[in-house]
Structure 1
Amino acid sequence: MTTHRVAKDVSSLELADYQRAVRVLLRNPLITDAYPDRGSLPLVRRWADQLRTDLHETLGYRLVTTANTARLLRVQDELDVTRPARTRTDRPFDRRRYAYLVLTLATLGRSGTQIALSELAESVGADATRVDGLGLDTENKPHRDAFVDAVAWLEARGALALADGSAADWANNPDRAEALYDIDREIVFALYRPSRVLQHLRSVTALLGSDHGFAQGQETQRKAAARRARRLVLERPVVYYADASESIRGQLRHASLAEDLERLTGQSVERRAEGVAIIDTSGRLSDVRFPSGGTPSQAALLLSARIARHVAEDAPPRLPAPTAAERDEAVAARIDAGLPVRGVLGELSEPEPTRPQATAETAAYPFVTDAWLGSAMKELNDAYGAAFAVAWRGDPGRLLREAVDLLASLRLVAKVEGGVLALPLLARYRGTTAEVRPRRKAATLFDIEDVS
């Protein structure tokens, strides 16, 4: 049996530069001349051959490069709602914006080299009327805003380049304003690379990685399990042993996993009794930094310390956490509820692939009630509200929801009916303290120190 060695042909002097290319590509699966910046595409192209080999052998990912793009085609093992597309004001896309984004890509794929925004809206609107409950009414301001958000997302990645006019002016008054865009068809086609014919699918789960029922030898299965274990550690904030199947648990505990990922990314892999996590000391691998600036993140950090102390001192009751399969099932049900069944070709629909069911260990975690969380957030607001942004200070309920959502996305807590479960990684922040410094007239200073 031969074992692949990560970065085999990279010298020790160049390893840091290669690892920087890996981190850039993992964080930005589409890279163009200008996105995410001018230096990323030359960096990735320099290491393209080694990246292509390592990412495939280690993770099962495929790197596709063209003259002006680099596209990383990932394998999706589970449904993830923690990394949505976002508007330029950092608001997550809703269903309408996602639908307009895909329909806009479809229109651009059959367009020439330029298109007016009103023409693009007309074409997308014609397609949108075929989807029950969607539509695109250019007389409707929320519809125009959602459409312009989708266009702006494509513009940020270089698929569209504004040649004249203003999309914001068109959104405010489409009768008196217009915008003209140049279309980069290479980027359009790099962006939209579906792995399945969507009209043949009856569930979003068909887009997830699977063995498709093929018979596999023992060595092939071991290699597939090793790749999936590496992907989980790379893609999740933390992987708990209790949340993985027996075959994956074995791979998570294997010494080669940490060695491969550390040499690939340049980040350290931390293994504890409960699970495994990559520690992103560079701040350039994770798409969400924690702790970070902003009131929701600050409140989430303070709340995590309160929860950890409550668990240690009050020993609340323990409840089992939802398994990965149960989480996927719940998310799939929400997504499938919006599937335009009228567009699915029943006679050509693909059967859902056979996916191995994880036999997870039974694990129970401390249960923290919604009432306790609400009381804790009120106390935090009273103690540190002077350091919170004004928009959040008067709405502790909304701040609590945002803080809990952030903690859940980081797998520090698991949301359940009536409260949350405190997961093991939360203990990392049990010694967090905060100091509110005197406020300046133009800014709020909020310093957080982790003394754990």
Structure 2
Amino acid sequence: MTGPGLADALAETRRSEQVRAARALLRRPVLRARGPDSEDLALVRRYASTLREWFERNTGWRLVVESEVARLVKVVADVDDPTHPARDPRSRSPFTRRRYVLTCLALGVLERAEAQVTLGRLAEQVLLAVADPDLADAGITLTLERREERSDLVAVVRLLIELGALARVAGDEDAFVRSEGDALYDVDRRVLSTLLVAPRGPSTITATGFADRLASSS
């Protein structure tokens, strides 16, 4: 094949690969070099400039591409839209308010953690963080003495595994829920650094009411 025919075939290949890369980001907004995302990440890196321009123009979303991770920073148009909650990767049940709080606290703990962390150690540090008086005033309590509370923390950990912030090395979360064991994880700081998607950092918001703070974050 020569001439225009070859050029058309190459153009179609590029278009097909760009579509595949865009669909991969829409399906999984965090792609990693290790694991099943590796081929999709290679395509995203190859067409990073084109994809950034397309997402910015058509959705207003920002695309971050690094050597080991790509992150499509999706921002909802309506902060009151409840139709796309975080979900437990195993049961697919939507996250409750407490699970969202635990997710934020776990991310804060992992930012200060070593390269590896056990579920038990993560739980200890989350318990210290949840003792903040402001959280108590907001009605957020946690002791991890009840199975339901341990299940909430495990749902958060499984979500972080699905996103790639944690990678299980050994152990079993179900054993932790039963208070019979522990689990060990590698912490991927490159993924952690991409997870915050709010246009404004929470610490920069001065509004006090929940609705006002939520509106200020968008």
Q: What TM-score does the superposition give when structure 1 sets the normalisation length?
A: 0.41
Deviation at 1:97, TM superposition (A): 0.9
Deviation at 1:189, TM superposition (A): 0.9
* Partner residue of 2:192 out of 169, 172, 188: 188
Contact 1:52 1:62 in 2 (8 A): yes
1:84 aligned partner: 85
Deviation at 1:134, TM superposition (A): 1.6
Gaps of 5+ in 1: 1-9, 209-452
1:148 paired with 2:148, answer no
Alignment map for 1:86-105 (pairs within 5 Å): 86-87=87-88, 88-105=90-107
Contact 2:33 2:41 in 1 (8 A): yes
1:206 paired with 2:216, answer yes
Deviation at 1:103, TM superposition (A): 0.7
Deviation at 1:96, TM superposition (A): 0.9
Q: What's the secondary structure of 2:194's corresponding residue?
A: helix
Q: What's the secondary structure of 1:192's corresponding residue?
A: coil
Mapped partners of 2:35, 2:44: distance in 1: 12
Contact 1:35 1:157 in 2 (8 A): no
1:170 aligned partner: 176
1:60-88 CA-to-partner distances (Å, cap 9, x unmatched) read 22111112111112343212211111112
Contact 2:202 2:217 in 1 (8 A): no
Mapped partners of 1:152, 1:168: distance in 2: 11
Contact 1:160 1:182 in 2 (8 A): yes
Instruction: Name the aligned partner's letter for residue 137 of structure 1.
Output: T
Mapped partners of 2:197, 2:113: distance in 1: 17
Mapped partners of 1:95, 1:142: distance in 2: 14
- Relative to structure 1, the CA distance from residue 120 to residue 13 in structure 2 (aligned partners, 3 Å threshold; closer, same or farther) is closer
2:14 aligned partner: 14
Contact 1:125 1:135 in 2 (8 A): no
Q: Higher Cα Rg: structure 1 or 2?
A: 1
1:271-299 CA-to-partner distances (Å, cap 9, x unmatched) read xxxxxxxxxxxxxxxxxxxxxxxxxxxxx
% identical aligned pairs: 34
Deviation at 1:148, TM superposition (A): 0.5
Deviation at 1:155, TM superposition (A): 0.9
Mapped partners of 2:148, 2:75: distance in 1: 34
Q: What's the secondary structure of 2:22's corresponding residue?
A: helix
1:238-290 CA-to-partner distances (Å, cap 9, x unmatched) read xxxxxxxxxxxxxxxxxxxxxxxxxxxxxxxxxxxxxxxxxxxxxxxxxxxxx
Deviation at 1:178, TM superposition (A): 1.4
- Relative to structure 1, the CA distance from residue 96 to residue 47 in structure 2 (aligned partners, 3 Å threshold; closer, same or farther) is same
1:121 aligned partner: 123
Mapped partners of 1:94, 1:34: distance in 2: 30
- Relative to structure 1, the CA distance from residue 84 to residue 198 in structure 2 (aligned partners, 3 Å threshold; closer, same or farther) is same
Mapped partners of 1:85, 1:35: distance in 2: 22
* Partner residue of 1:197 out of 158, 177, 201: 201
Deviation at 1:35, TM superposition (A): 7.0
Mapped partners of 2:174, 2:33: distance in 1: 25
Gaps of 5+ in 2: 1-9
Q: What TM-score does the superposition give when structure 2 sets the normalisation length?
A: 0.82
Mapped partners of 2:87, 2:60: distance in 1: 27
For structure 1, which segment, 135-144 or 93-102, has the greater mean C-alpha deviation from structure 2 after superposition?
135-144
Root mean square deviation, CA, Å:
2.0
Mapped partners of 1:69, 1:95: distance in 2: 29
Contact 1:164 1:179 in 2 (8 A): yes
Mapped partners of 1:14, 1:160: distance in 2: 33
Mapped partners of 1:186, 1:11: distance in 2: 33
1:418 aligned partner: none
